[in-house]
Structure 1
């Protein structure tokens, strides 16, 4: 399936997911407010880190090797068995850790024990959370785009139903519980879609972990773990800093800005993961890889630019429609955020080569370096420009990241394919 067909089919799922996100944004804006947004952001970053450590760190490797071994069913099954077994083991370990330290986690993330039981819900559903992510990775690697689209649509609808119901009834507490469980509920639908495929059996998911496959997973796991620590942790640090410097509401405005960026860029980012990453994993010749990157800049990058321009022009209407008048201070962030988002997508078109071709050292180095620079630039720019500085820092950070990607990626790639 080519880039255009994948983008169109994937666009259906993205359209539905974007619509559900916009509806949820409105519901959360009304029922939890700007301060609640900040708490939700902190908890989402925690979920992102834990699910990665508990098994989803290897999902990029599952996509890559499922696609790479498309003519070798035995090798594919060996990959899935290793992945499924690792997910079960690490999900159990981290569920136990969360249950033991639920009080301390609540105090650290929310500065109160009032939300302690949220961590119990999350621990109970963690294994299903990660198995769902594993099934999606398998569908992605097999290029079962239609099944992947259906799974994503169901996940979006479940997210809307569960989160809206719980947030309306229990406000912030309900929203946090919804974050803990809704992806786990989608597991049963994803399992059914895989089960109906003629190439899949439940027995393919569990069994012996072959040493060579574990070794292959290690590089991708390291990259995912570094990313899972650096990105969410840097966001948590920035959110805490904004809360202290400007107040909790301003941390909520920034969280709303991040969510809006994620929503309008979703077609682009999902196309990168659904089509672009498996495609890069398949290619072995430098000329073919360069051609694919060119297509990425020809079709994917302009989408990000046009999307950012539209969002900026309609920013006042968007804030009122998707959030509320209470979120109007986030208006100051739009210009720099939209430019930074375009630079981010431009750099990611190159950065995905690090994942597709397992450039572990470069990936780890740049993730750590630019997570630190994100925090440092936020501190510096907010001192110079006030609250607006947080989005200026976003722009500067991705401008620097783009330059680094442009310089290093193909130099490393030429060495790999020699």
Structure 2
């Protein structure tokens, strides 16, 4: 029996008990408790009944909620860096690196592409500016493509319609100069996921702001169209916040975008400190503002993650030496984010320079630069090491290391194997 369910049995001619067909409900519960996706894949190869249950959309949703996706590595401008032993995802990461195309050679070759965001194994890329057009003003909204490097498939997003692009260029703003954040991938809405195979649905948001207003355009894979989703005046957002004096002829400073608990968060610097979060609720498509805890104001770097039970987690490095990683959790009271409480502080090796490289809802990537003393003496640093931190266990694990390259590069965590973009789900 399983979970109190007596399984039907039969007896062969020799009197030995045989397991006959198991009802779908207990079989589903058994498959849900397989420890890893690899175990589920092997079980699906055993018989068609197992495969039928495991490829059902409701089963996959439940399995993903119970099992965190594996952190396979990260992407930067140098390509894909797989998790290396002894990281538990190293075998899967090595296999992915061997068969996936992270050079994106299968994309249209009329231009070069730069990674903008990664979610659930899919990659969002934007067209690089044409070097021959350096003297021209680059377009506000460039070409975008969402691709699956494992199956080498992609979808080129349609251009942003002229009327939507023109609506962002606000003539009411006398000092508008077009400062825009990167586009980002977010999960589909519940309606979109229900209307199509959940694995094939996705959304891309494009956040823009002027000195007096914030805007969001959204592309849905279900409709294959862009739409204006949300816009809000900064003065209206700050009404009652007591900080209207922060709006100056210079652009308000928004940095980073983090998706957690159905919302996108941008750090908002006020009075030369990260004091607030600009929040976009992707279910209602409405902007709001949340206060950061006082402890975060003097941190060198902060990042947002999901803390479980619809709570928000904040990681930050203390500003003085960046050798202490703080974890703070905020709880929602109605629609407001408050009740911040420090959950844990993690001491880091003070002989290294640390920074936060990237986050997903579940994982944090911490970068550690070797040879900080060498750099202080004017010598070359040696290496960069990367560590992952699971939000649930708060356990640091080394992902990999690589030589330090010249220049800066955005880092994007790569978790999970991508679901197919254009075909039925496979195991």
Choose between structure 1 and 2: higher helix proportion: 1
Q: TM-score, normalised by structure 1?
A: 0.27
Q: TM-score, normalised by structure 2?
A: 0.26
Q: Which has the higher contact order (CA 8 A, sep 6+)?
A: 1
Choose between structure 1 and 2: higher strand proportion: 2
Q: Which has the larger radius of gyration?
A: 2
